[in-house]
Structure 1
Amino acid sequence: MIEPRVLLLPGWLNSDPDHWQSRWEALHGDQRVEQADWQWPRRGDWMARLDEVLQQDARPALLVAHSLGCQLVASWAAHSQHTARVRGALLVAPPDTEREDTPPQLHNWRPIRRPRLPFPALAVVSSDDPFCAPERGAQMAADWGAELLMLGACGHINSASGLGDWPEGRALLQRLQATAAA
């Protein structure tokens, strides 16, 4: 079986050097999907970029999304003809872009796309995420057909959460990969 590549999908403003995604990129050689505009992310542009990166390599992929990257996966999967290239998705800290206090830069990410994902997914939600109430995170996971893992009080599950290399997250990715291969 061909080993899938791991594509990192950061959220709004990208992942800083202390973020677990950046650490995984350095430690494991995962590939970050770079976007043209991290400040004013346009949903269609981000979807097109993900499609482009997936088609650059014939190997299947595991998507590792953080924050707005989770919304990217849901939006992309609802429209792309290349979803068969994805073996699974780890969706960490999906934000609620339909909240009243959502920054104007993210308004084009409304409404949240909610169709069931056509591949296995695991959604990791924090009980005190400042960008998404746990109930809303759980509802997105259910709509997407993703297994839900409530992580407890970990904020936005980013560098401010102090996770370091987040080996527990890597174990979740390995579990997802095993499930997808079964």
Structure 2
Amino acid sequence: MTLETTPTVLIVPGLRDHVAEHWQTLLELKLPKAVSVPPLEHDKLSCAARVAALDQALAKITGPVILVAHSAGVMITVHWAQRHKRPIQGALLATPADLERPLPDGYPAFDALTVNGWVPCPRVPLPFPSIVGASRNDPLAQFERVAELAADWGSRLVDLGEVGHLNPVAGYGPWPQAETLISELA
């Protein structure tokens, strides 16, 4: 595979945007062709604004793309896929947050998520290959709910074990398995 045909990895962060110690941030720095959806300055809780930011980031990329989304970034990705037709080579969708259920303290309230267009979550097959990584002890989504979403999206489900929300709070900076899963989509 030449550099021209090597897919660009586009990182789709969740609602907390870019966290220095997060595996997505570290992955972007490590991979030769990786960029990230830039943080929003306004309408940070708006699903439509997040989807538009993803679409704008994609518009700057020529050639094949693999999306690497985490948490609410997964929901941004599935909402984007319902509204846009750009070809995507594949997507790694890691520990999606279940925004159809109340989240723990410190996260946006269910009513705020509903008003900002996050609910309901699209439940139709994605138009590209995808892998959903699910945690057995994620405080933001039960494994069974994530398995249902993966089935609805036509995604391959990967049981990640007990990795919490796969973020620095759960003990994750680097997450080497991401590169293995991305290579399966390349």
Q: Same fold (TM over 0.5)?
A: yes
CA distance in 2, matches of 1:44, 1:69: 13
Which consecutive residues of structure 2, in runs of 5 or more, have no partner in the other structure?
none
Corresponding residue SS for 2:132: strand
CA distance in 2, matches of 1:173, 1:38: 31
Deviation readout 1:80-112 (Å, 9 max, x if unpaired): 132x1x100000010110113472343331111
Which consecutive residues of structure 1, in runs of 5 or more, have no partner in the other structure?
178-182
CA distance in 2, matches of 1:162, 1:23: 14
Pairwise CA RMSD: 1.7
Aligned with 1:160 (options 138, 162, 169): 169
In the superposition, the TM-score normalised over structure 1's length comes to 0.89
In the superposition, the TM-score normalised over structure 2's length comes to 0.87
Aligned with 2:59 (options 52, 55, 58): 55
Aligned with 1:17 (options 20, 27, 31): 20
CA distance in 2, matches of 1:120, 1:38: 32
Residue of structure 2 equivalent to 1:103: 108
Pair 1:176-2:178 in alignment: no
Number of aligned residue pairs: give it.
175
CA distance in 2, matches of 1:150, 1:144: 16
Residue of structure 1 equivalent to 2:95: 93
Moved over 6 A (4+): none
Shift of residue 3 of structure 1? 1.1
Corresponding residue SS for 1:124: strand
Report if aligned partners of 1:92, 1:124 keep a CA contact under 8 Å in 2. Answer: yes
CA distance in 2, matches of 1:14, 1:159: 13
Higher helix share: 1
Shift of residue 39 of structure 1? 7.7
CA distance in 1, matches of 2:157, 2:43: 29
The percentage of aligned residue pairs carrying the same residue is 37
Shift of residue 114 of structure 1? 1.2
Report if aligned partners of 1:14, 1:38 keep a CA contact under 8 Å in 2. Answer: no
Residue of structure 2 equivalent to 1:124: 133
Report if aligned partners of 1:13, 1:39 keep a CA contact under 8 Å in 2. Answer: no
Residue of structure 1 equivalent to 2:72: 68
